[in-house]
Amino acid sequence: MAQTVCRNFKRPNLTLREPSVQHGPKVISGKPVTLGQGYSTLAWIPEEAGSWALPISHDRITSFESPLSKGAFQLRQACKELKVRPISMWDSEYAVAPFIKLTKGIEADFLMRLRPNRCLWTAPPVYQKKGRPKKHGDKFNLSQSETWMTPIEELEILDPTWGTIEVKRWNGLHFRGHS
Q: Are 57 and 73 found together in one domain?
A: yes
Q: Are 93 and 57 found together in one domain?
A: yes
The stretches of the chain forming alpha helices (DSSP H) are 67-81, 97-102
Beta strand ranges found along 29-152 (DSSP E): 31-36, 38-44, 54-61, 87-90, 109-112, 119-121, 139-141
75, part of any domain:
yes
Q: Are 98 and 75 found together in one domain?
A: yes
Q: Are 83 and 146 found together in one domain?
A: no
- Domain end residue (candidates: 65, 80, 113): 113
Q: Are 22 and 84 found together in one domain?
A: yes
120, part of any domain:
yes
Q: Are 143 and 89 found together in one domain?
A: no
Characterize 86-96 residue by residue with b for buried, 16 or more Cβ atoms within 10 angstroms of its Cβ, and e for exposed.
bebebeeebbb
Q: Give residue 1's pLDDT band: very low, low, confident or very high (50, 70, 90).
A: very low
Give the pLDDT confidence score for residue 12 in this predicted structure: 52
- Radius of gyration over every alpha carbon of the chain, rounded to an integer in angstroms: 23
Q: Are 104 and 29 found together in one domain?
A: yes
65, part of any domain:
yes
The stretches of 27-149 forming alpha helices (DSSP H) are 67-81, 97-102
Q: Global pTM?
A: 0.74
6, part of any domain:
no
Please say whether the beta carbons of 58 and 51 come within 8 A: no
Q: Are 120 and 109 found together in one domain?
A: no
* 13 HSE (CA, 13 A, CB side): 3
Q: Are 104 and 161 found together in one domain?
A: no
pLDDT in tens, 11-29: 555 566 777 777 777 776 7
| Cβ-proximal residues to 173 (8 Å cutoff; 6+ apart), any chain | 120, 121, 122, 140
Q: Are 103 and 144 found together in one domain?
A: no
Q: Are 97 and 22 found together in one domain?
A: yes
138 phi, psi to nearest 5 deg: -75, 150
Q: Are 22 and 102 found together in one domain?
A: yes
Domain that holds residue 77: 18-44+53-113
pLDDT in tens, 25-54: 777 677 777 777 888 999 988 877 778 888
The CA distance from 56 to 70, in Å, is 14
User: How many distinct structural domains can be found in the chain?
Assistant: 2
Query: C-alpha distances in angstroms, 102 versus 55, 93, 105, 111, 123?
Result: 22, 14, 9, 16, 21
